[in-house]
Structure 1
Amino acid sequence: MSKKYTIQKAPFVVPTTDGKLIEEHFGNATDQNSKISIAHMVAPAGWSEPFQTPEFEEYTYIIRGKKQFNIDGEIVVLEAGQSIKIEKNIRVQYSNPFDEECEYIAVCLPAFSMDLVHREDS
């Protein structure tokens, strides 16, 4: 009989140097699933990362705080309770230029991978 479900009690904590918490619950790093990744994240106040042009769709749901998206030159700010889908192969920069941390869930289809994200040199 095949397994009916999987409960994730020990997500993979991605090592970072920018103060951002990344807990991958399902995906390449956790269960070698390359189809989808689901991560819980907390971005500190003042955080930003380089532009990227990923080969995956990314869905973001904001739990608390605010997060800024620079989507091919257009600035979009989401607040708690809002969500966004960014199509693959779109140049985007994620940041939290605000004075409070931002907690959110990110879902990538296919799964997040350093080989697919195409981050620019900062």
Structure 2
Amino acid sequence: MTGAIEQGTSQTHGNTHILHFLVRLPGTMESVWPALSTPEGLAAWFTAVDVLEPRLGGIVALRGLGAGEVTAWDVDRVAEYTVEGGGRIRFHLERGGDAGCLLRFTHEFQGEDGETEPSWRARFEILIEQLGRG
């Protein structure tokens, strides 16, 4: 199975911006999970991680976004990081067929300094490429 970015939307409500993506990823939920939930996995396609306690309420510090807390954690399914200055980033994996899975991604942030839809698309292309090689 090859990966694909199937949808990407951007919404603004006052000062709050919300980006949503639906990304088809090559690999099972279990094989994709480390790319979303470990410092090494996140650093390979997204950003360096200074601290990540892999549990609900754990501390997280994402380089360039800030420090905060793990606000959702369901192993092999959901990782959500809420950071000061960077807002909320949520990765939600779902089964997507024999050889793949779906990622429902949300990034919610305040102000004008957040990530843009094109920058997330570029990151997801890197993630798809890496998972396809694995």
* TM-score for both structures, normalised by structure 2: 0.29
Q: Which has the higher contact order (CA 8 A, sep 6+)?
A: 1
Give the TM-score taking structure 1 as reference length: 0.31
More helix by share: 2
